[in-house]
Structure 1
Amino acid sequence: MDAPLTLDIVSAEEEQAWNRRHLAEPVTAPAIRFWGYREPALVLGCSQRRAISAETVRERAGLDLAARDAGGGAVLVGPWMLSASILLPLGHRYAQQPPALSYHWLGEAYRAVLAEVGIASEVLTPETARRLQREADPDIGWACYGGFSPGEVVVGRRKLVGLAQVRRAKGVLFVAGLLFGRTDWTLLCRAFGRPPGEAQRLADGNTCCVDEAGETLSPLALLCSLQQRLWASLGDPSGPNEPW
């Protein structure tokens, strides 16, 4: 019997707290959690923690600020995004792969599910990701969705799924962000203190499920299919999914 879908509607800080809490103790079995967001918030990569203060973000854009332990650029989470946290024990085969190669299984799960709803996408190989990154606009490299990494999912040259991971002594965390609806790129630029013109460049470099498959696409149906794909790839289709 398949595990029930767990989709929590949370703040950005609640998501990050869950991730930290479950990496602070030994991960003994794979676990999957899906996230939606009550309101927009700015989430910084670990190297950006000192780039901007919570007070500044609130003054500029009226947003809360959170920081993740994974690397990469800034992300504007919000009702348009569906995120996933996947915890793996250190001994799991995907946790033992080199970082650049360890995302492919995750990107492939997203690609397969997107294909089921008519979205033709591609999982970036390390070689393709390096080429696209060399050709990317350097002015928007401060944003997660302004660049490309192995395993991420694109439609043509437009990003649809961003990925990151955290490796700790007690387990490995993979995180994914699917652009289901249209992101407010103008709000992201305002929050991070970037020129307004960069919003259009971010919009040009990304896409979303609604634009690719239409407004009638069901996010819950998509996540149910994704959960099945993920568990099948992890080796336990009805696996445990209840770390609180």
Structure 2
Amino acid sequence: MSDRINYLVTGSMPAEQNQITERLDAGVEYPGVLFWQYDQAAIIMGCSQRPDEQQSARSMAAGLPIMRRNSGGGAVLAGPWMLSISVFIPTEHLIAQQNIIQIFGWLEQIWIAALEKCNVPCKGVDKALIDHSKEVSESQNLKWACYASLSHGEVVSEDGRKLVGLAQIRKKKGVVLVSGLHLYPCDWQQLSSIVVDNPEQGVQLEALNSDAQSLSGRAEDVLLPEIIQAFHEQLPDDFRVLS
């Protein structure tokens, strides 16, 4: 199992985004997977979100940088508690030829199989669960947060709390599916305090989310190499590990 943990890259969110961008710009020549764990905490906003002066001031006061990623979606508090897995697919690959719901469904099944093998109880989402999550997110004014609602291909606990979030970046020269698993809980109140100046919304977000450590009752440092190994084993044979 020790070689599996060597697949993991530890670094900053900008370094991860740079690698994703460089690989897409150069062209994805073969299927690959990048396992990444953030070495520092940061607020990550979607490409359509732009931090204003008040958000920037609050983040500076908290000593927590605000960054933007290349994919869409809402704000995320990223840090060592999150395992980021990016799956790179050439445009001509059969998987990349599927529509967005199908391709996310393919990745969802890989995540479910990997997590269940590591004794993390979970399930996929259906339209009813997605629609309900969006209603809750809107009624609680949480649409700004990535982990406030669900979309196709994402993974939840058995009682419907979000566990794995997904995003897609599609370019002419390749596709990358980016997913984030909470290994253990993040500080949801800190996220909401900085982004919307309302720590109470962090309580609401905490209730909508779960993490692998809490669901399995096993420590994050034990789970991490096991999840990496299990995920790698579920990928088709033509996928290579990237670093």
TM-score by length of 2: 0.89
8 Å Cα contact 1:145/1:206 also seen in 2: yes
Aligned counterpart, 2:10: 9
Amino acid corresponding to residue 82 of structure 2 in structure 1: M
* 1:56 CA displacement: 2.8
Instruction: Specify whether residues 11 and 53 from structure 1 end up closer, same or farther in structure 2 by C-alpha distance, changes over 3 A only.
Output: farther
User: Whole-Å Cα distance in 1 between the matches of residues 134 and 85 of structure 2?
Assistant: 24
Instruction: Specify whether residues 185 and 135 from structure 1 end up closer, same or farther in structure 2 by C-alpha distance, changes over 3 A only.
Output: closer
**What is the CA RMSD across the aligned residues, in angstroms?**
2.1
Aligned counterpart, 1:111: 112
Name the one with the larger helix percent. Answer: 2
User: Whole-Å Cα distance in 2 between the matches of residues 161 and 153 of structure 1?
Assistant: 5
Amino acid corresponding to residue 240 of structure 2 in structure 1: P
Larger displacement relative to structure 2 (179-188 or 125-134):
125-134
Question: Which segments of 5 or more consecutive residues in structure 1 lack a partner in the other structure?
Answer: none
Question: Which segments of 5 or more consecutive residues in structure 2 lack a partner in the other structure?
Answer: none
* 1:58 CA displacement: 3.5
Q: Percent identity?
A: 31
Amino acid corresponding to residue 227 of structure 2 in structure 1: L
User: Whole-Å Cα distance in 2 between the matches of residues 186 and 15 of structure 1?
Assistant: 25
The 3-state SS of whatever aligns with 2:40 is: coil
Of the candidates 227, 238, 242, which is equivalent to residue 222 of structure 1?
Answer: 227
CA deviations 1:116-165 (Å, max 9, x no partner) are 22222111134542343234344111111011100000012200000001
Aligned counterpart, 1:182: 185
Aligned counterpart, 2:33: 32
Instruction: Specify whether residues 58 and 195 from structure 1 end up closer, same or farther in structure 2 by C-alpha distance, changes over 3 A only.
Output: closer
* 1:187 CA displacement: 1.5
Larger displacement relative to structure 2 (43-52 or 145-154):
43-52
Of the candidates 149, 152, 158, which is equivalent to residue 150 of structure 1?
Answer: 152
CA deviations 1:159-200 (Å, max 9, x no partner) are 000000101111001000001111111121122133110011
CA deviations 1:74-94 (Å, max 9, x no partner) are 111111100111110001222
Matched, 1:209 2:217: no
User: Whole-Å Cα distance in 1 between the matches of residues 131 and 101 of structure 2?
Assistant: 11
* 1:57 CA displacement: 5.1
Amino acid corresponding to residue 148 of structure 1 in structure 2: L
User: Whole-Å Cα distance in 2 between the matches of residues 68 and 92 of structure 1?
Assistant: 25
Instruction: Specify whether residues 46 and 228 from structure 1 end up closer, same or farther in structure 2 by C-alpha distance, changes over 3 A only.
Output: same
Aligned counterpart, 2:164: 161
8 Å Cα contact 1:60/1:191 also seen in 2: no
Instruction: Specify whether residues 177 and 53 from structure 1 end up closer, same or farther in structure 2 by C-alpha distance, changes over 3 A only.
Output: farther
User: Whole-Å Cα distance in 1 between the matches of residues 104 and 156 of structure 2?
Assistant: 14
